[in-house]
Amino acid sequence: MRFINLALVTSAVVLGACSGSDKKQDTAPATPAPAAATTAAPSSGAAGTAAPITGKTVEVKMMGDATGYRFEPANITVKAGDGIKFVVVSMIPHNVAFDAATIPADVKAQLDANFGAGRASELSSTLLTTIGDSFTLSLGSIKPGTYAFYCTPHLAMNMKGTITVQ
């Protein structure tokens, strides 16, 4: 019974914190500086070094409304080397995170490195706090498999999905 009460109180607090306006703020989100051109070969994707996106980039909307909190689409199939651009559409804040306990050891370091400058902590992006903010995750040098991800602030509201790398 205590667990249920705790879950209800936690959900109420998160919903209250996330019930901000859907209006776009006047300030544009900061964009990273473009990478300097080099004559060196592209990164091999070694652990600790972000692997570049060498294929297509799929866009995923991060949203919340009367039907719930969700990634749209929630289940994505891509190839190694593709990228996923997560875009905030409504009900901020959002992020993209993976449970380190579910990621194979031989994938974890590379996936973490691929978060690049958008990394807040291990296998987690920074919180995106403005409608229109985005975060792009490279799947360069990621071996085939299915990887579950979620939005930390809205995990209790079942905001999660899967990425299948072919």
Give the CATH class of 47-165.
mainly beta
Evaluate whether 97 touches 161 at the Cβ level (below 8 Å). no
Q: What is the pLDDT of residue 48?
A: 78
Q: What is the pLDDT of residue 114?
A: 97
How do strand 145-150 and strand 160-165 relate by DSSP bridges?
Answer: antiparallel
Residue 91 annotated in active site: no
Evaluate whether 115 touches 47 at the Cβ level (below 8 Å). no
Least confident interval from 14-28, 33-47, 57-71? 33-47
Distance CA 112, CA 47 (A): 9
Q: What is the mean pLDDT of residues 77-85?
A: 98
Q: What is the pLDDT of residues 96-123, one digit of tens each?
A: 999 999 999 999 999 999 999 889 999 9
Residue 18 annotated in active site: no
Candidate list 62, 63, 91, 159, residue with the active-site label: 159
Extents of the domains making up the chain: 47-165
- Residue 7 phi/psi, 5° resolution? -65, -40
Candidate list 62, 63, 91, 94, residue with the active-site label: 94
pLDDT at 42 over 80: no
Between 150 and 25, where is the model more confident? 150
pTM for this entry? 0.72
Candidate list 62, 63, 91, 151, residue with the active-site label: 151
Candidate list 62, 63, 91, 154, residue with the active-site label: 154
- Residue 112 phi/psi, 5° resolution? -60, -45
pLDDT at 24 over 60: no
State how far the alpha carbon of 117 is from the alpha carbons of 14, 19, 31, 131, in Å: 26, 28, 11, 20
